[in-house]
Amino acid sequence: MSTSPTLLLTGASGLVGSNVVSSAARRGFSVVGVVGRFAGDIPGATRLERLDLADSAAVQAFALEVFPDAIVNAAAISEPAQCDADPARSHAVNVALPATLAQVAHHLGARLIHLSSEQVFDGTRPPYRRDDPVAPPNLYARQKVESEQLVARFAPETGATVRLPLLGGNSLAGRRSLHERLFMLWAAGHRARLYRDEIRQPCSAENVAAMIVELCERRDAATCGLFHWAGTEALSRVEMGRRVARHFNLPADELVEEAAQADDARPGAPPRQPDLALDCAPLAGLLKTRQESFDAMLEHLAVPPDCRAWYLGR
């Protein structure tokens, strides 16, 4: 009698993680999710375990207990300000955790998918190929680069690191994705001030999750190593905001304010990368999962729960 393969997922309550749970469960995985302070349910999870992800020894012991067929690391402290405020903890989660999981994956012969970020580049030479030199502009990005190197070192035969773009989609809390953050601003009575000279290549967390689960099902050498994944369109922040507003039949001119980065430049403040478009070869050609257009992403978006009263009352 065959049993379902087990997937161990860190960061299961996050935007990507919660979508990985759903996608993996549909594909027949038994999903063991690791969360931090999250206390709710995650549809599709077979088991949820609360652990301090900064405690590598605890994570290692739990991973060895679970003995998974695949490991997905979707956990991160991804806000640069939080990394700067507590560099020791952010290093533990952003660097030490993926290194530990890579060692466990190598020991168990498990597939490992580690998630990194477009933020490792400085935004001056797009579109970025996976082998282009990195130029991390802040501590968070430097930690991501270090994590990539450690995963490659400790799990060279089973590991894949995927750099991701700005993400849309529906999160458990309704506060994490591109459109959810816009809605939070609008519902609070604010216009979204967005830059025409800040280019990103967004896709949805649902699309990312489908890609990740497909990678979990594959063990061939071609799908190990470092990769990029993103949507099909490189768009300015202001264009994204306008298209989100129009999709929900909201007045884009009223809710979105166009600006240039130079308009808000502050002495000593680190610049935002101007263009982080990604070249997704060869991964896009290796998988059945297709890259997603911005319009396709919009079709799956829901009004965040905390903003529904505002939206329905307009």
Domains and CATH numbers, the chain: 6-167+203-228 (3.40.50.720), 173-200+233-276+298-312 (no CATH)
pLDDT of residue 117: 98
Task: Answer yes or no: are the C-beta atoms of 203 and 292 closer than 8 Å.
Answer: yes
Kindly give the confidence (pLDDT) of every residue in the chain, 314 residues in length, as a single tens digit, with 9 standing for 90 and above.
458 999 999 999 999 999 999 999 999 999 999 999 888 899 999 999 999 999 999 999 999 999 999 999 999 999 999 999 999 999 999 999 999 999 999 999 999 999 999 999 999 999 999 999 999 999 999 999 999 999 999 999 999 999 999 999 999 999 999 999 999 999 999 999 999 999 999 999 999 999 999 999 998 999 999 999 999 999 999 999 999 999 999 999 999 999 999 999 888 777 799 999 999 999 999 999 999 999 999 999 999 999 999 999 99
Side-chain half-sphere CA neighbours of 283 within 13 A:
29
pLDDT of residue 209: 98
Task: Answer yes or no: are the C-beta atoms of 137 and 273 closer than 8 Å.
Answer: yes
Alpha carbon 126 to its chain centroid, in Å, reads 20
pLDDT of residue 302: 97
Residue carrying the six token digits 């994204």: 240
Question: Cα–Cα distances in Å, from 80 out to 56, 84, 182?
Answer: 22, 6, 19
Q: Is the pTM of this model over 0.75?
A: yes
Side-chain half-sphere CA neighbours of 186 within 13 A:
32
